[in-house]
Amino acid sequence: MPIDIEKVLGAEIPPVDARWNADKVILYHLGLGAGVPATDPAELQYTYEGDLKVLPSFAVIPLMGTIIGLFGLDGVNINLAMLLHGEQEIELHAPIPVKAEITTTATVTDILDKGKGAVVIVEARSATRDGEPLFTNRFSAYIRGEGGFGGPSGPPVGNQPPDRAPDHEVQCPTLEQQALLYRLCGDKNPLHADPSFAAKGGFDRPILHGLCSYGMACKAVVDTVLGGDVTRVAGYAARFAGVFFPGETMVVSMWVQGDRILLGARSKERDAPVLSNAVITVKESA
């Protein structure tokens, strides 16, 4: 197994400093497919610095340094071709500003045995330079082929949608070069760009970043249910249920239940799941 559980479980990942400005926020939004139609005032709030807002899913972008730090821990030896994102959760402690400098501290909180793979769970806490908490990320790295070591399997997956038609459904088309654009946000895993590397992982072509799908679904909910108010999102969790290929259309389904919006996403062309067991918790509007 490429993970020494005794060394890695409970290990602290070295702190990571990050900074961003309007250009990086806009690049992230463009990587999700924002800006269509280009002159739509609602879309310009994502793509033009004149009245720029920040999607809450942007909280995953400073996480890249922490993920790299996980791979650098003593006792971790992961083949990137066998690595997939398992689940992602963000908790917002304050609205994300257009410009900021932060420090992220992180800990490996669990290592689970999923039979066909192993899951490493990390909690990463990000705060401003003044020490004010901004957001917390919890993510799981799924390493295919490394399960069966006899560890705990973890709790059952929650956030099941109700057995009825969704309250809203949105179709989100993607560009064939979507992954090539999104990788400029910081995730340079060749799985999303290099066909030969993708083939080593068992894919016939590069796949879209799971966190790009995650952000696309978040934008769909904010725009459809929350009237574009990014500040109403208190938290967002999702399970990565399958791969999505650039050029496909993502169908995002939403069920509104009080202060919880349950959602799922699938590929329209293959009718295959992409995100499942997902929920956005919302705050009352000001």
89 close to 234: Cβ distance less than 8 angstroms: no
Q: Active site includes 110?
A: no
Q: Give me the long-range contacts of 182-188 (CB less than 8 A, separation at least 24).
A: 182/31, 182/32, 182/208, 182/209, 182/212, 183/209, 184/27, 184/31, 185/24, 185/27, 185/28, 185/31, 185/61, 185/64, 186/61, 186/64, 187/64, 187/211
pLDDT at 1: 59
Give yes or no for a cis peptide into 195 (omega within 30° of 0).
no
Per-residue burial over 6-40, b = 16 or more CB atoms within 10 Å of its CB, e = otherwise: eebbebebeebebebeeebbbbbbbbbbbbeeeee
Q: What is the pLDDT of residues 94-150, one digit of tens each?
A: 999 999 999 999 999 999 988 888 899 999 999 999 999 999 999 998 888 777 787
pTM reported for the whole predicted model: 0.93
Q: What is the pLDDT of residues 20-63, one digit of tens each?
A: 999 999 999 999 999 999 999 999 999 999 999 999 999 999 98
Catalytic residue among 85, 187, 209, 223: 187
Nearest to 83 by CA among 255, 201, 214, 224: 201
The tokens for 20 are: 């961003």
pLDDT at 71: 84
Separation of alpha carbons 205 and 197, rounded Å:
9
Please report, for residues 44, 69, 213, 272, the alpha-carbon distance to residue 124 in angstroms, rounded to integers and kept in the order given: 31, 11, 21, 30
Q: Active site includes 192?
A: yes
pLDDT at 194: 97
Catalytic residue among 85, 192, 209, 223: 192
**Strand order across the 100-113 sheet:** 12-20, 100-113, 117-128, 133-144, 83-92, 233-240, 272-282, 260-267, 249-257, 168-173
